[in-house]
Chains A and B, each alone.
Chain A
Amino acid sequence: MYETCVVLFLFRSVEHTDGQSVLTDSLWRRYSEFELLRSYLLVYYPHIVVPPLPEKRAEFVWHKLSADNMDPDFVERRRIGLENFLLRIASHPILCRDKIFYLFLTQVFFFYLADSRLKALNATFRVKNPDKRFTDLKHYSDELQSVISHLLRVRARVADRLYGVYKVHGNYGRVFSEWSAIEKEMGDGLQSAGHHMDVYASSIDDILEDEEHYADQLKEYLFYAEALRAVCRKHELMQYDLEMAAQDLASKKQQCEELVTGTVRTFSLKGMTTKLFGQETPEQREARIKVLEEQINEGEQQLKSKNLEGREFVKNAWADIERFKEQKNRDLKEALISYAVMQISMCKKGIQVWTNAKECFSKM
C-alpha cells in the first residue's frame, strides 16, 4: 500500500560559536522513519519520558468519514502531530542535543537501528524489591491511559450525536422553502427561517473540526502514558539485573566459604560428584577457590558499577519525570481551557442563528 509522504519544512537555526545561524534544506520523511527515530530515543534515553508520535491509524473516530488514513483532515492532523513531536524533542534539554536527532533533521538517508535491548524492554520478569516511586508511576500511567481512552470514546459518541442534531435541522430548511411556495403571508418568514436552519446545520462541520484538535491534544498524552511505562520498565530491567547479580555474587561467596571451611551447605554439582566419585585433591580445591575468588572480585566490582548505574538512572529519570509532570499539567490545563473556548464559540454561533430564526418566525 502506498503511504503518503509527509513534507517537512524545517527551519532550524544552529547556533555556532560565532553566533551564526544556518538554514537547512527541506527533506521528506515518512511516518515509519519517525517511528525509527523514536525507537532509537527510547533505547538510548531510557530514563527520559520520550514524546509520543501521533496515532498510526485513526482511532476514536466520531464519524465514519475520518476513519480513512488518506483522508485530508487526518493527514493534516497527523502533520501537526509529527511537527509537535519534533518540537517537543527540540525543546527537551537533553534530547535536543542528540546527534541522531540532528541527522534525522538533516540527512536524507536515515540509518536503521536494530537494537536487541529494544526487545528486552518487552520481556516480562519479576523484581523482588521494586522502587515504590516507579510502581506508583506505572499505576499512574495505566490510569492515565485508561481514563483518556474512555474520555475520547465518549467524546466521539457525543460528537456523533451533536452532528445528528444539527444536521436534521437542515431538513427544515428544505421543507420550509417548499412550503413557502404555497403560503401568501407566511411565505417570506418561512423562506428566510429555512435559510437560517441551513446555516445552523452546516455550522457543525467547523465546530467538530476544531474539536478534533482538542482530541489530538488528549491523544498525545494517551500515548505519553506508554512512554512513561517504558521508563518504568527500563528501571525494572535494571533492578532485575542488579538483583540477579547480587544473588549470583552471594551464592558464589557462599560456595567459596564452604570450600574453604569444608562444610557443605549449598548444593553444587561438584559437591554431588565428589560425593559419588570421591573427594577432589587439595590442589583441585585450591584452584577452584581461586577461580571463585576472582569471580567474586569481578562480581563485587560489577555490582558496584551496576548500583552506581542504577542510582544515576533513577536520578536522571526522576528529573525528567518531574519535567514531564510540569509539562503535562501545563498542556492539559491549556487543552481544557481551549475546550471551554470552543464551547463558548459554539454557543455564540447558536445564539445568533436562533435569534435570526426567531425573528423570521415572528414575522410570519
Chain B
Amino acid sequence: MGTLGGAGLAAAVAAGRARTLGMEGERRASQAPSSGLPAGGADGESPGGGAPFPGSSGSSAVLQAEVLDLDEDEDDLEVFSKDASLMDMNSFSPMMPTSPLSMINQIKFEDESDLKDLFITVDEPESHVTTIETFITYRIITKTSRGEFDSSEFEVRRRYQDFLWLKGKLEEAHPTLIIPPLPEKFIVKGMVERFNDDFIETRRKALHKFLNRIADHPTLTFNEDFKIFLTAQAWELSSHKKQGPGLLSRMGQTVRAVASSMRGVKNRPEEFMEMNNFIELFSQKINLIDKISQRIYKEEREYFDEMKEYGPIHILWSASEEDLVDTLKDVASCIDRCCKATEKRMSGLSEALLPVVHEYVLYSEMLMGVMKRRDQIQAELDSKVEALTYKKADTDLLPEEIGKLEDKVECANNALKADWERWKQNMQNDIKLAFTDMAEENIHYYEQCLATWESFLTSQTNLHLEEASEDKP
C-alpha cells in the first residue's frame, strides 16, 4: 500500500477540507502554529494521507465519490469533517493537482508500494561528551521527491531524546493510531554499560525501523513534526520543541485523562472488546516467543563456544597416532566447518528473527496504550452523557459538547479500526517472513554440515578402496 495512494486520497479529500476548517477551530487552537501555516484558508489544506481505509479500494471509492459530489450540504460536510479530523492537524499542504481526473489516477496507484517517495537511513552513531553528560547521536539521511520538502536530500543528527519527543508528538496528534515503537531506553538484563557496541547497533537498527515505519504509514508520513525531525538543524529543532502546549496545559490534559479512565470503560463496543482480548493474548504470546528466541540464541552461542574446542583435540590426538593422522585431521576440519556454519546460523537468527520479535513485543505495549487512549476518549463522552442524564452540571452547553465528543469518539474508533487492520496485516507478513527466514537459516546450516560429513565419508571409503586394491597382488 503506497503512501502516494494515501496522498492521492488525501488530495481528494482536501478539496472538501477548505469548507470544514472552521469547525476544527477547537482542535486547531490547541496545536502549535507550526511551520507558519495559517489556521484557516485554502493553503491550510491537509492532505493527511486519508489513511483510515488503506488498501480497501471499496472505501476509497466511497471517499472518491464523496469528493466528486461536492456540494453545500452540511451533512455531507459533517461526514467529511469527521473524516477530515482524522487527518493530521500539523500536516503541510502538498502541491497536489486537485482535478478529479488526476485524483482518480492517483487513487489507482494506491496499492503499488514501489512508489515510495521518502527514503530514510539511520547510521553512523557518534559519541558526544559534554561536562554534564555523554550521549550518542545518529545520522539521519532523508531522500525524497515530495514537493513539500524544500530539498531532495537532508542530513541531520539526532539523539534518542529527539526520537522520544517525536513519538510523543505523534501520539498526541493521533491518540488512536498505532504509532511504531521505539527501542527501549535501557535494557536491565545483561547490560554492562550503556554504550557497548552491540547495544548501540541494535538500537540504531531499531531507530531506522521506527522512522521507516512512520514513513510507510499513510497518515503519519505527512505529520509536520515528522518532517521537522527529518530536516531541521539542531537549533531549529530545539526551538520548535519548545513551542507546544505549555507544560501546565499538558498536565491538565493528563489529569483529566487519568480521571476519566479511572471511571472504567462501561460501554466498550464489542469489536473493541475483541481487539482488547486479542491484544492481551498476543502480548503474552509474543513476549514468550521473545524469551524463547533469546534463549535459543544463548544456547546456540554456548554450543558454538564448546564446538570451538572440540575440533582441535582431534588434531592434538593425531600427533600421537601415525596411522590415524589423516582421519583425525579430517574429522577435525569437518568439526571446524560445522562450527563456522553454526556461527552463521546464530548471526542469521540475530539479524532476522530477534529484532522482529522484539519489535512486536514493544508494539504490543503500544497497542495497550492505544486501547487505553481510545477508552479515555470514550470515557470523556460517557461522563458528559452521565452528567446530562443526572443533570449534574449546567446542562445548557452539554448537548453541544456531547455532539463534539461523539464526533471525536467516532473518529477515534474509525482511525483505530482502520489502522488495526493495517497493523495486523503487517504483523502477519513480518512474523511470517521472520520465521521463514529462521527456518531457511536452519536448513542451510544442516545442508552445509551434511555436505561436510558426506565428503569426509567418501574420502574415507575411497581411501579404503585404495588400500584394499594395494593389498591385492
**Chain B residues within an 8 Å CB radius of A143:** 320
**B345, closest chain A residue (CB):** A165
| Residue A161 lies at the interface, judged by CB distance under 8 Å to chain B | yes
Q: How far is the CB of B36 from chain A (nearest CB, A)?
A: 46
What are the residues of chain B within 8 A of A162 when measuring CB–CB? 303
Q: How far is the CA of A325 from the CA of B285 in the complex (A)?
A: 59
Query: Interface stretch among B157-165, B233-241, B450-458?
Result: B450-458
4 further A-B pairs in the complex, CB-CB below 8 A; given A147-B317, A340-B453, A351-B443: A150-B316, A151-B317, A168-B292, A340-B331
Tell me whether A44 is interfacial, beta carbon within 8 Å: no
A215 to chain B, nearest CB (A): 13
Distance in angstroms between the alpha carbons of A189 and B432 in the assembled complex: 9
Question: Is B310 an interface residue when CB atoms closer than 8 A count as contact?
Answer: yes
Residue on B with the closest CB to A150? B313
For A168, what are the chain B residues with a Cβ–Cβ distance below 8 Å?
Answer: 292, 295-296, 299
The answer to whether A337 and B285 touch across the interface, beta carbons within 8 angstroms, is no
- Is B435 located at the chain interface by the 8 A CB criterion? yes
Residues of A within 8 A of B454 (CB): 344
- Interface size of B as a range: 35 or more
Inter-chain contact B460/A169, CB cutoff 8 Å: no
- Tell me whether B436 and A362 are in contact (CB under 8 A): yes
Cβ contacts under 8 Å, B443 to chain A: 350-351, 354-355, 358
**Is there an interface contact between B446 and A186, defined as CB atoms closer than 8 Å?**
no
Q: Among the listed B277, B303, B313, B445, which residue makes an inter-chain contact with A164, where contact means beta carbons less than 8 Å apart?
A: B303
For window 406-447 of B, CB contacts with A under 8 Å fall at: 428, 431-432, 435-436, 439-440, 442-443, 445-447
Query: Which secondary structure characterizes the binding site on chain A?
Result: helix
Flag if A358 contacts B453 (CB, 8 Å): no
- Chain A residues whose CB sits within 8 angstroms of the CB of B306 once the complex forms: 154, 157-158, 160-161
Instruction: Please name the residue on chain B nearest to A348 by beta carbon.
Output: B450
- Contact call B320/A144, Cβ cutoff below 8 A: yes
Question: In the complex, which residues of chain A have a beta carbon less than 8 angstroms from the beta carbon of B446?
Answer: 347-348, 350-351, 354
Report the Cα distance A339→B314, complex, angstroms: 13
B432 & A333 in contact (Cβ 8 Å cutoff): no
Q: Which one, B79-87, B118-126, B171-179, B321-329, is touching chain A?
A: B321-329
Q: Are B457 and A154 in contact (CB under 8 A)?
A: no
Chain B residues, Cβ within 8 Å of A147: 313, 316-317, 320
**Across the interface, do B428 and A154 meet the contact criterion of CB distance under 8 Å?**
no
Interface SS of chain B: helix, strand, loop or mixed?
helix
Give every chain A residue within 8 A of B316 (Cβ-Cβ). Answer: 147, 150
Contact of B314 with A175 in the complex, beta carbons under 8 Å? no
Asked if A155 is at the interface (CB within 8 A of a chain B CB), the reply is: yes
A174-205: which have CB < 8 Å to B?
175, 178-179, 181-182, 185-186, 189, 193
Interface string of A324-364 (1 = CB under 8 A from B): 01000100110011011101100110110011011001101
CB–CB A362/B456 < 8 A: no
A140 and B317 alpha carbons, distance in the complex (Å): 11
B334 at the interface (CB under 8 A from A): yes
* Nearest residue, chain B, Cβ from A142: B320
The number of residue pairs between A and B whose CB atoms lie closer than 8 Å in the complex comes to 137
Question: What residues of A have a CB within 8 angstroms of the CB of B456 in the complex?
Answer: 340
Partner of B288, one of A161, A175, A193, A336: A175
Q: Which residues of chain B are within 8 angstroms of A151 by Cβ–Cβ distance?
A: 310, 313-314, 317
B453 touches A343 (CB 8 A): yes
A33 to B449, CA, bound (A): 45
A151-B313, A343-B449, A362-B432 given; A337·B289 CB < 8 A: no
B289 to chain A, nearest CB (A): 6
CB of A154 within 8 A of CB of B313, answer yes
**3 closest pairs, A vs B, by CB?**
A358-B439, A161-B303, A350-B446
Pairwise interchain contact A337-B457, C-beta atoms closer than 8 A = yes
Q: Does B442 contact A329, Cβ atoms closer than 8 Å?
A: no
Task: Give chain B residues whose Cβ lies under 8 Å from the Cβ of A45.
Answer: none
Residues of A within 8 A of B317 (CB): 147-148, 151
Using known A-B contacts A164-B302, A355-B443, determine if residue A336 contacts B309 with beta carbons closer than 8 Å.
Answer: no
Q: CA separation between A333 and B285, bound complex, in Å? A: 49
What is the bound-complex CA distance between A337 and B456, given in angstroms?
9
Q: Distance (Å) between the CB of B471 and the closest chain A CB? A: 13
CB distance A351 to B289 under 8 Å?
Answer: no
| Residue A171 lies at the interface, judged by CB distance under 8 Å to chain B | yes
- In the complex formed, the residue of A with least CB distance to B307 is A158
| A257 CA to B258 CA, complexed, in Å | 119
Contacts of B324 in A (CB 8 A): 329, 332-333, 336
Question: Does A40 reach chain B (CB closer than 8 Å)?
Answer: no
**B300 interface contact, C-beta 8 A:** yes
Interchain CB contact under 8 A, B310 and A357 = no
Q: Is the CB of B457 within 8 A of A344?
A: yes
A143–B321 Cα gap in the complex (Å)? 10
Indicate if the CB atoms of B313 and A169 lie closer than 8 Å.
Answer: no
Contact A354 B320 (CB under 8 A): no
A-B contact pairs, 14 of them (CB 8 A): A140-B320, A144-B320, A151-B313, A161-B306, A165-B296, A165-B299, A165-B300, A179-B281, A182-B281, A186-B431, A332-B324, A336-B327, A339-B331, A350-B446
Whether B296 and A364, one on each chain, are in contact in the complex, defined by CB atoms closer than 8 angstroms, is no
Chain B residues contacting A340 (CB-CB under 8 Å) are: 331, 334, 453, 456-457, 460
- How many Å lie between the Cα of A364 and that of B430 in the bound state? 11
Q: Let me know if A104 is at the binding interface, CB within 8 A.
A: no
Could you tell me the distance in whole angstroms from the C-beta of A237 to the nearest C-beta in chain B? 25
Write the B13-46 contact mask toward A (1 if CB under 8 angstroms, else 0).
0000000000000000000000000000000000
Q: Name the distance in Å between B256's Cβ and chain A's nearest Cβ.
A: 34
Task: Check A240 for interface membership: any CB of B closer than 8 A.
Answer: no
Does chain B have a CB within 8 A of A172? yes
List the B side residues contacting A361 at CB < 8 Å: 432, 435-436, 439
Cα A318 to Cα B429 with chains together (Å): 71
Complex contacts, A186 vs chain B, CB 8 Å: 428, 431-432
Query: Is the Cβ of B436 less than 8 Å from the Cβ of A358?
Result: yes
CA distance A249 to B285 in the complex (A): 89
Chain B residues, Cβ within 8 Å of A182: 277-278, 281-282, 285
**For A160, what are the chain B residues with a Cβ–Cβ distance below 8 Å?**
306
CB distance from A161 to the nearest CB of B (A): 4
Q: How far is A189 from B450 in the complex, measured between Cα atoms in Å?
A: 28
What separation, in Å, do the CA atoms of A362 and B440 have in the docked complex?
11
Chain A residues positioned under 8 Å from B314 (CB to CB): 151
